[in-house]
Structure 1
Amino acid sequence: MMMRRRTTLLTGCTALTLALAATACGGGPVSAGGGDKSLSGQTVTVAGVWSGSEQKNFQKVLDAFTAKTGAKTQFVSTGDNVSTVVGSKIEGGNAPDVVMVPQVGVLDQFAKKGWLKPLSPTAQQTITADYAPVWKKYGSVDGTLYGLYFKAAHKSTVWYSPNALTQAGVKPPKTYDEMLKAGHTVSDSGLAAFAVAGEDGWTLTDWFENIYLSQAGPEKYDALATHKLKWTDPSVVTALTTLGKLFKDKQLIAGGQKEALNTDFPGSVEKVFGPKPEAGMVYEGDFVAGVAHDQFGKTIGKDANFFPFPAVDGGTAPVVSGGDAAVVLKDGKNAGAGMKLLEYLATPEAAAVWAKAGGFLSPNKKLDLASYADDVTRATAKSLVGAGDSVRFDMSDQAPAAFGGTKGAGEWKLLQDFLRDPSDPKGTAAQLESAAAKAYQG
């Protein structure tokens, strides 16, 4: 969202543990109007967090739907606060037909407010037959399936300029401590180690989640994600302390903390891959590749590459994922055509449109890997589709939006405050617990 949690992997990545997929339904082909222009004269309004190159590439998918069905489409970018924007549109009698929901917590919220239509039998059959159980789980609320995951993200990738690392004489690290050491070597060579997008609080939650999953382990991660474990737990304080060592090291962060707090996600990618590089590395999801390629003309695998987020303190290297789920609103003026769009998004045909454009991973196992534009993405997609079950969904995306998905509030704001002053991890943990408790009770 702007650009929020997005998609790609790399060759040699730790097994991306997710068996995903979404295809044309198991018992027969999904029909989005059958190619007979049966939806001519109708307009489907779609709301989502995407902007920039992501919005442009999703529009190509919508245009393909139009060519197939005759339905016109209109995309409305919500920015990060998708929950607030969609809620106000519903209250104002101007609900979109389809929303691309970037957070499990928001999907849960929408369903419990009675805003969503259960998926059609065709879509449900598709997901049951072709999606890994984890995606059906995250698309369901109280046993009812509402969301179709169209776009998946691998959130455990550290992107770097091969030229910058080569000039510094360092290789992609295997552990978190090695990564910080390599960062100091890059800094000594004239560039900062990392560009940090502190203006976008969601990037900071991703830093925390990768450290926490590796350091504390999957069981505690699951417990914290559902607030069965309090944020005041010592494991949280330990992870914040680890993250704070990076935040307070002016050699490691381009421009220091102040500049990081004024750098958004696209800006952080520009600091590494733009015309005037300021840093050698940027941590974020595979969707970094789309920005590096589309906005700065980088060849993925040559001018821009990544290494898996490394293991922390002897733990297992983390694999954090995310995704954008298509849902249909009951109050949309054309919910029927909206459901047809959702059925189309389930097909490999739809996924191939964005796959060819880049900056995208599909959880559709019937999508031909040749559809992807480069070897790095192709290897990532293969790993994603064929993976196991150790992956964990983005923690902040599982939380209520008030805590895990609202600009200027909750976890986003508190981690921005922590970036500004990381001297009191225990105090920050207490503030996080207070905000989480309030949001989960609400």
Structure 2
Amino acid sequence: MVTSTSASANVNCDPFTAYKGLKGKTVTIFTSILEPELTTLQTAWKDFTTCTGVKIKIEGSNQFEALLPVRVKGNNAPDLAFIPQPGLLAKLVETGKVKVAPRAVVANVDRFWSKSWKAYGTVKGKFYAAPFGSNMKSLVWYSPKQFKAAGYTVPTTWDQMTALADKMAADGKTAFCGGLGSGGATGWPATDWVEQIVLRDHGSAVYNGWVNHTIKFSDPRIVSSMQKVASWMQNPKWVGNVKGIATTTFQDAGKDIPGGKGCMMLQQASFYGNIIAESGATISPTGDAFAFYLPATNSKVTVPVVGGGEFTAAFSSRPEVQAVQAYLSSATFATSRVQLDNWISANSGVPLAAYKNQVDKLAATYLANPKSTFGFDASDLMPAAVGAGSMWREFTAWFGEGKSIADVVKAIDASWPKSQQAQLSNNGGGHLYGWPPPHLQSKPETRK
């Protein structure tokens, strides 16, 4: 457990004048976040604790999602918890132990986050939890050096991207690469590709209906988005050996992008730069590798972004708890954490200049856009039998065996748990694959 305490220091306490009467108080936080990030968080809020005199005790556990419900049920809940799953938040709200967010938190979220982000911290019309950290999946990796050498321009629309892919094919290059291999989680990249297109094609309402199965996989809108994925990532002219995507690991999929000897583009999350960098490649807008935003497909869906993050929920209404909760939802805290690197916030109050990492800065440009249409990773929100089961399995067969979309969606719909309770279950993705977050994984061996 890491503890922050007040100490005499030459710090500017002006940003914390609103937080009064906290000296000598203690606030506990429970999280799935582990070291070294716990110590980094302690550093990020050090000025706050120094100036207010409040103590923040934070405890991380790799059994967070199993332990938190037990602690809540046993009346041993922490004051605050960073919850990496909206589904888990909803289940905890059902216990009656989660406190509705205080006015200061609501004000911060209304000011600094998009409506889509706020919706994921809302349960049955009541707002409980402000967003904390975030990550972005809506990126396409490429080589700025190779693009410049070939005379290619980064596309900003879907039509431009497909036209570029055609030009690359005409030049004898492989436009897109992909890999579904990930050990026991094989198949997850394909779920991300479909999630990207469902959100881009149809927006939040259809996306969230698909997540809770009020809109089935066999719905024509979902099928049409899968057909678009097939025309993109199963197009032999663009990807070469389609079936080979199923047997290629996601780590190896884009490893040759810097040298221009493999494919030219890879749709993958922000963490992928860490994998490319392991070969010594430089990650920058003019370097061996960088990323661009995956273009929208429907002008009616503004700035679609698929990703994930944590949400700060409170189990106490004590003044000091509400004060810390408000501080953690502020642009002041988010900026202090961002400045320490390897962290992204969807808080629009964080100046982009605060980001040291250029990929994180790029991701924040879209995550923090107040007009963004944010979709939390769909497979992570679906029941385990689907999101971490039939969806991975069937999408792998779709690529590797040529299984038809009709048969794939039929099998996934049939696998959906029958009971409402099962439908609300959390598949654990937010813990197992969500932390360390992508930008902290030097050698990502897991899904996110």
Give TM-score scaled by structure 1 length.
Answer: 0.69
Does residue 319 of the first structure (1) align with residue 319 of the second (2)?
no
The alignment partner of 2:92 has SS state of helix
**Aligned match of 2:225:** 239
Structure 2: gaps spanning 5 or more residues = 1-14, 50-54, 423-448
Distance in 2 between residues matched to 1:397 and 1:104, nearest whole Å:
12
Q: Which amino acid aligns with 1:75?
A: G
The count of corresponding residues between Structure 1 and Structure 2 is: 396
Deviating more after overlay: 121-130 vs 248-257? 248-257
Distance in 2 between residues matched to 1:420 and 1:87, nearest whole Å:
39
> How far apart are 1:296 and its partner, in Å?
5.6
Does residue 431 of the first structure (1) align with residue 417 of the second (2)?
no
Q: 1:344/1:253 Cα in 2 relative to 1: closer, same or farther (>3 Å)?
A: farther
Q: 1:115/1:299 Cα in 2 relative to 1: closer, same or farther (>3 Å)?
A: same
**Aligned match of 1:142:** 124
Listed as ranges, the matches of 1:227-266 within 5 Å are 227-248=213-234, 257=243, 260=246, 263-264=249-250
CA RMSD after TM alignment: 4.6
> How far apart are 1:425 and its partner, in Å?
0.6
**Aligned match of 1:119:** 101
**Aligned match of 1:11:** none
> How far apart are 1:301 and its partner, in Å?
1.6
Distance in 1 between residues matched to 2:176 and 2:28, nearest whole Å:
47
> How far apart are 1:324 and its partner, in Å?
1.7
> Of 394, 419, 427, which residue of structure 1 is paired with 2:376?
394
Distance in 1 between residues matched to 2:236 and 2:20, nearest whole Å:
53
> Of 169, 173, 190, which residue of structure 2 is paired with 1:204?
190
Listed as ranges, the matches of 1:215-234 within 5 Å are 215-216=201-202, 220-221=206-207, 223-234=209-220
> Of 140, 143, 151, which residue of structure 2 is paired with 1:158?
140
The alignment partner of 1:105 has SS state of helix
> How far apart are 1:394 and its partner, in Å?
3.2
**Aligned match of 2:87:** 105
Q: Which amino acid aligns with 1:45?
A: F
Q: Deviations over 1:142-197 (max 9, x none)?
A: 233221102244433212122333455533344353354356468x45x7832435
Q: 1:100/1:207 Cα in 2 relative to 1: closer, same or farther (>3 Å)?
A: farther
**Aligned match of 1:65:** 45
CA contact (8 A) 1:358 1:373 kept: yes
**Aligned match of 2:347:** 364
**Aligned match of 1:20:** none
> Of 260, 274, 290, which residue of structure 2 is paired with 1:305?
290
**Aligned match of 1:349:** 332
Distance in 2 between residues matched to 1:30 and 1:411, nearest whole Å:
48
- Determine what percentage of the aligned residue pairs are the same residue: 20
Does residue 170 of the first structure (1) align with residue 147 of the second (2)?
no
> Of 395, 400, 421, which residue of structure 2 is paired with 1:415?
395
Q: Which amino acid aligns with 1:326?
A: F
Deviating more after overlay: 129-138 vs 373-382? 373-382
> How far apart are 1:300 and its partner, in Å?
2.6
Q: 1:400/1:435 Cα in 2 relative to 1: closer, same or farther (>3 Å)?
A: same
Q: Deviations over 1:261-289 (max 9, x none)?
A: 5635xx25872578998543331344545
The alignment partner of 1:438 has SS state of coil
Q: Deviations over 1:323-358 (max 9, x none)?
A: 42333464x9x9998766543322333212442344
> How far apart are 1:207 and its partner, in Å?
0.6
CA contact (8 A) 1:396 1:404 kept: no
**Aligned match of 1:13:** none
The alignment partner of 2:406 has SS state of helix
Distance in 1 between residues matched to 2:225 and 2:66, nearest whole Å:
30
The alignment partner of 2:100 has SS state of coil
Distance in 2 between residues matched to 1:31 and 1:272, nearest whole Å:
51
Q: Deviations over 1:86-131 (max 9, x none)?
A: 5577689986665433333332233235463433454344334544
Distance in 1 between residues matched to 2:264 and 2:319, nearest whole Å:
48
Listed as ranges, the matches of 1:35-74 within 5 Å are 38-39=25-26, 44-48=29-33, 56=36, 59-65=39-45, 68-69=48-49, 70-74=55-59
Distance in 1 between residues matched to 2:181 and 2:20, nearest whole Å:
41
Q: 1:92/1:272 Cα in 2 relative to 1: closer, same or farther (>3 Å)?
A: farther
Distance in 2 between residues matched to 1:383 and 1:278, nearest whole Å:
28
Distance in 2 between residues matched to 1:253 and 1:92, nearest whole Å:
53
Q: Deviations over 1:215-271 (max 9, x none)?
A: 45666445434433222123322332332355556786699656755635xx25872
Does residue 283 of the first structure (1) align with residue 267 of the second (2)?
yes
The alignment partner of 1:71 has SS state of strand
Deviating more after overlay: 393-402 vs 102-111? 393-402
CA contact (8 A) 2:28 2:79 kept: no
CA contact (8 A) 2:179 2:248 kept: no
Q: Which amino acid aligns with 1:194?
A: C
Q: 1:385/1:316 Cα in 2 relative to 1: closer, same or farther (>3 Å)?
A: closer
Structure 1: gaps spanning 5 or more residues = 1-26
CA contact (8 A) 1:47 1:96 kept: no
Distance in 2 between residues matched to 1:313 and 1:388, nearest whole Å:
14
Q: Which amino acid aligns with 2:162?
A: D
Deviating more after overlay: 164-173 vs 416-425? 164-173
CA contact (8 A) 1:117 1:328 kept: yes
> How far apart are 1:371 and its partner, in Å?
1.0
Deviating more after overlay: 247-256 vs 156-165? 247-256
> How far apart are 1:319 and its partner, in Å?
1.3
> How far apart are 1:398 and its partner, in Å?
8.1
**Aligned match of 2:5:** none
The alignment partner of 2:418 has SS state of helix
Over alpha carbons, which structure has the higher Rg?
2
